[in-house]
Structure 1
Amino acid sequence: MPEPITGTYSFDAPARMAQTVADGPRYAPLTLEEVSPEGMEQVKVIRAAFSIPESRPFPDVSLITLRHPGMFKGQMVLGIELAKGVIPARDRELAVLRLAWLARAPFEWSEHVDIGKAFGLTVEEIDRVTEGSSAPGWTAHESAILRGVEELLSDHCMSDATWDTLAQSWDEKQMLEYPMLVGSYLMTALQQNSLKIQPKGGFDYR
């Protein structure tokens, strides 16, 4: 079994930003007038699902991926299900942040720093996410959330020990949801990195 990265993961952030952000995005966001009728149906669904008023501009990242409205629809069906899912929001954001850090995904990282803070994560805890599941200060449950991400990325499977720890606190629906959560946000990171989606803050989270 490949060894998961359970400790501090350091990388050259400016070099990664140059690779995944500079001269991007690779496709320009559509205007709402350019979005296809099929895509506009998804715009309505997203506005309703996340209570986005008509007066608020639709996110550029969505207006880029709406170039493929069928794929966008599939992504959003899963995304909405995970956003309203059975895993508590704070737990979800711990997992997404560890995934985004290990994937060196500046857009996903910066977006979920803001989301994580909205659900109660502190700057100190976000610091600790970059230090991994073995960092002191986590509860056993929190450490297992991070460890699960590390194992899924390294070996595409959770260990019995990590599974058993999470199963002490989570029910079967949450256990079924968790690998899908990690996989979904990895898929999103691959797309956003490759499209060079422009982040608000990159890897700076203070």
Structure 2
Amino acid sequence: MTRLEPIPPAELDDEQRELYTAITTGPRARGAATFELVRPDGALRGPFNAFLLSPRLGDALQNLGAAIRYRTALPPRVREMAILTVAAHWDSPFEQSAHEHVGRACGVTEEEMAAIREGRVPDLADPYERACAHLARLMVADGDVDDESWDSWADQAGNITVFELSTLVGYYAMIALQMRVFRVH
């Protein structure tokens, strides 16, 4: 049972309405690699409903999330496999469902998603994708990358990727925590 009822659009104040519009008309609302942001009654789904509780912070979070998804150098498959790794680790049903949909549109296979759901790194032929998947798995499992793993994977990924990947993992872990606290499924 949710701890935060959906906030109907008719009840939004000006700041909330501005954030609502930014979320529903921004990059998340366009393209094939998206998921449903709005319920049939117009209320926001997933973490976005909670963002409305504190519109200034919610706007900062939605902007960070948009930057992570649309303005990094991470290829879509790498990005979605990393998000799914966080979702599986945190047992976050909304993240899992939404990003499996996006992942499919980005070419993540059912077998790869099954491995991630099971807490495993998928068998990936591409060395860059394999390095990123191992790094993301370590970040969620250990909250760190040990020296041996760093030596094995970081050179293949590169420092920019490790920075962007660790930012993604941290952001989606925070979102998973918020959804867990508010019982958003």
TM-score range, shorter chain: 0.7 to 0.9
Match of 2:34 in 1: none
d(CA) in 2 for partners of 1:43, 1:72 = 10
Match of 1:27 in 2: 4
Deviation at 1:185, TM superposition (A): 0.4
Structure 2 residue 173 is matched with structure 1 residue 186: yes
| 1:29 alignment partner AA | P
Match of 1:47 in 2: 24
Deviation at 1:173, TM superposition (A): 3.0
Check 1:154–1:122 CA distance in 2 against 1; reply closer, same or farther (3 A cut).
closer
Q: Are the counterparts in 2 of residues 93 and 112 from structure 1 also a CA contact under 8 Å? A: yes
Q: Are the counterparts in 2 of residues 167 and 175 from structure 1 also a CA contact under 8 Å? A: no
Deviation at 1:197, TM superposition (A): 1.1
Match of 2:137 in 1: 150
Deviation at 1:145, TM superposition (A): 2.2
Deviation at 1:46, TM superposition (A): 2.1
d(CA) in 2 for partners of 1:92, 1:51 = 14
Higher helix share: 2
Offset from partner CA, 1:10-58 (integer Å, 9 cap, x none) = xxxxxxxxxxxxx2x21111111212211222222223322638xx745
Which TM-score applies when normalising by structure 2? 0.80
Offset from partner CA, 1:163-186 (integer Å, 9 cap, x none) = 45343244x432321101000000
Match of 2:65 in 1: 79
| 1:122 alignment partner AA | T
| 2:156 alignment partner AA | Q
Q: Quick one: percent identity of the two aligned structures?
A: 26
2:80 to 82, 93, 96: 93
After superposition, residues 149-168 of structure 1 pair within 5 angstroms as 149-164=136-151, 165-168=153-156
Which TM-score applies when normalising by structure 1? 0.72
Structure 2 residue 95 is matched with structure 1 residue 108: yes
Q: How many residues get paired?
A: 170
Deviation at 1:94, TM superposition (A): 0.7
Q: Between the two structures, name the one with larger relative contact order (CA 8 Å, sep ≥ 6).
A: 1
Match of 1:59 in 2: 44
Check 1:167–1:36 CA distance in 2 against 1; reply closer, same or farther (3 A cut).
farther
Q: Which runs of 5+ in 2 are unaligned?
A: 31-37
Q: Which runs of 5+ in 1 are unaligned?
A: 1-22, 199-206
d(CA) in 1 for partners of 2:134, 2:29 = 34
Q: Are the counterparts in 2 of residues 30 and 67 from structure 1 also a CA contact under 8 Å? A: no
